[in-house]
Every structure is written in C-alpha cells, then in structure tokens.
C-alpha cells in the first residue's frame, strides 16, 4: 500500500478541485493498456481515431505505449455545457472515410459519462465500414450511464463526479494538468 499523499487543491474559474488520480498512476495504466492493444493488434496497421478535444493527451501517450505502426485521425463532437452532459450531440469534425474503410480502428476517448456521445457516434463510424472498432476510454463513470456503451478498455472506473486534467477541461481550463482532479462539492 502506498501512503496517502495529502490532497492538492486547485481552482479553475469559480470551482475547486482536489487531486484524484496521480500522473504516475495514469502513466502506469496507459502503459498496461498500450501493451494489451499491441498484443491484440499485432501485425496490423490500425487507425487511431482520437476524440477531440479531451482525448488528445491520453491519445498521445497511448499511441506511443502501443508501439504499433498506425495512422492517426481526429474526430470532434460536442455535447458538454459546463459540468453537465447534454443529449444533443453534434459531429463537428467527422473522420476521413478513406482512412476508416477496412481498417482496425482504435477509438480513443477521454471519458464515457452518459454514453450519449458514443451512442450517437459509433453507428456513424460503422457506416464507414471499418474492419473492427476497439473503444478505449481513459475514464468511465458507470453510475452516470444513460445509455449502455460497450467499451473494450477502461483506464479507470470513477464515481459520478466531474473531473479535470490530463486533457479534460472545465469550461476550457485544466487540460494541461498531468494528473486528474475531482470537483470539490461545497455547500454554498
């Protein structure tokens, strides 16, 4: 057992967050998932499909951890308003159909929360006829599920509390943090 380090508290806009997953623990988990993907897709040239903006930090570490010789493309959807998930998912930047067709796609997401984003996006992706889709998410909030999503690799299952850092933001801030921080729920 590691000794518990005291919490670090940070403030973004008007909200406070305390340290939750350390940079070391995240890096260790990313290495494990990378090794499993390398094993699963050995000899293939996958397409890494990165969900912008939140997944860009996780993706950059994960892609290097797999050591697979793949191509990269980006997708952007939008749904979040402040700290609340919305049902209205917009596909702001679709994937390149030519890159997806007949490829083993590793879809990289920062967090699966309500599931609405993946419920909307996965059928769109399948229309482009990939050879397979492997969904990898760094974080999953099982208690927040509104629609079930089949996830192949989950970094960490976490409670239904808003988090920032390692690519995830609160109204634009916090993406650069190497660790993950959880919202401090204060009585106001």
- Binding to ligand IMP, residues 147-186 (CB under 6 A): 162-164, 168
Segment interacting with ligand IMP, rule: CB under 6 A, options 17-25, 42-50, 108-116, 126-134: 108-116
Contact 155, 21 (CB under 8 A): no
Site for ligand IMP contains 106 (CB under 6 A): no
Residue nearest to Mg ion (CB): 54
- Binding to Mg ion, residues 42-101 (CB under 5 A): 54
As measured in angstroms, the least distance from the Cβ of 45 to ligand IMP is 26
Maximum separation of any 2 CA atoms in the chain, in Å = 55
Q: How many alpha carbons lie under 13 Å from residue 74 in its C-beta half-sphere?
A: 11
Catalytic residue numbers? 113
Site for ligand IMP contains 19 (CB under 6 A): no
Closest CA to 53 of 138, 137, 156, 167: 167
φ and ψ at residue 11, rounded to 5 degrees: -125, 135
Closest CA to 37 of 121, 177, 136: 136
Contacting residues toward ligand IMP, per CB under 6 A: 51, 54, 79-80, 85, 109-117, 162-164, 168
Residues at the interface with Mg ion (CB under 5 A) = 54
């Amino acid at each position: 057992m590691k000794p518990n380090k005291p919490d670090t508290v940070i403030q973004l806009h008007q909200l406070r967050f305390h340290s939750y997953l350390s940079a070391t623990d995240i890096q260790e988990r990313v290495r494990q998932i990378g090794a499993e993907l390398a094993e699963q897709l050995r000899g293939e040239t996958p397409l890494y499909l990165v969900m912008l903006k939140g997944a860009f930090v996780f993706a950059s570490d994960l892609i290097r951890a797999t050591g697979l010789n793949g191509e990269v493309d980006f997708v952007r959807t939008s749904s979040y308003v402040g700290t609340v998930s919305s049902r209205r998912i917009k596909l702001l930047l679709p994937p390149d159909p030519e890159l997806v067709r007949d490829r083993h796609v590793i879809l990289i997401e920062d967090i699966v929360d309500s599931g609405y984003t993946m419920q909307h996006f996965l059928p769109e992706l399948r229309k482009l006829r990939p050879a397979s889709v492997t969904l990898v998410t760094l974080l999953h909030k099982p208690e927040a599920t509104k629609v079930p999503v089949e996830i192949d690799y989950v970094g960490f299952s976490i409670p239904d509390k808003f988090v920032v850092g390692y690519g995830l933001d609160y109204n634009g801030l916090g993406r650069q943090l190497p660790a993950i921080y959880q919202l401090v729920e204060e009585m106001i």
